[in-house]
Structure 1
Amino acid sequence: MAVFLIIATIVQLYLEFSIDSPWKDRKKPVRTLRLDLELAEERRILEARRLTPPALERQASYRERLPVETARLRDESRHYRRLHLLMQWLLFVSSAAISAVTAWYDPPQPAKGVLICLGFIVTIVTAAAGYFKPRERAFNLQQTADSIEQHITALELGISPYNDLEDRVNMEGFAATVEGLRAEQRMREQQLDQPQQGQQQVI
């Protein structure tokens, strides 16, 4: 072990002080280093521009990725719709159970714990439904997915507003419209995340 450490130390010292050592400071001026860095950055930008496909190809690739986006929107919409239904059923069952337990026990003393639990569930579910608004989120997501799908179908069939003779014009309008729909969806989500007073001010 000691022999190995001695050999490693000798090799490291040789590399440190050899003429062609990669760690040796070559005393390059800062101005030269900056110039080299700027040239490397220019070469990187030129290479990126050379490798960037034309706008029509990028728009076509964007259109091919949209089915995944619409599927994601539909999945999220389904999730919020199920959450809303679960909350509604919890409210129905808990509210009905409160009345049933109150009517069943004439002196409600033995059922106080059950009534407290059911009242707690009703309060929590009502507050959560009012705060998270799963029904509104599900509706907005489904509406955005349907709108994007409608524009995809119009583009594929070549009908209005994508009935121009040039594909470039159609793809440009399609990409702009879909991005507008997605921006509108994000704005609606932000409005739902705001407190009620903030939403009224935004509206």
Structure 2
Amino acid sequence: MTGTTARRRGRPRREEASDTRDHILTVAREEFSAHGYEKVSVRGIAKAAGVDSALVHHYFGTKEQVFEAAVEVAFAPALSAQDALVDAPLDDVGERLARFIFGVWENPATRTPLLAIVRSALNNDTAAAVFRRLIASQLLRRIAGRLDVPDAELRAELAAAQLVGCAILRYVIKVEPLASADVEQIIARVAPVVQEHLTGP
């Protein structure tokens, strides 16, 4: 009886902790989006979230770790669908990868936090390192692992550079006519280049 009661009392605390952690991450993404990595502090995130800064440190640690957690959450919907991409036949992986990357950018739900992440990464070495780690561990290494060539990692990185470069010019810098071009037209032109990087001679 006592054990049952204790378990019931424990559940709201765990749920509340989870809600608090999620709330801090949401606020952190908003802060990084509005001010960039360099101008955001753990104390500022805590103040905006209405919590003590010690609680932010408790859940995440340093500002870099808060940023990394925010990046992972922002990428979660896209990364959850990447298994099918990584395991796809290699003869059309260029188009699949292009559709995957541009699909993330075209989706308003993922584009807004992604813009915040990329802008921070462009202006700060620490934020850039976090972004590189995520891209490298979650996607590039898995694709490179399937390529039976000695320069597999370089090929995967060149493919990523092609796609990320196009995405930055289109969605962040907004260079015309790339910014307003039909996304299907962009995919049709970029996908063969990505495929060549990955599987070409």
Q: Which has the larger radius of gyration?
A: 1
TM-score range, shorter chain: under 0.3
In the superposition, the TM-score normalised over structure 2's length comes to 0.23
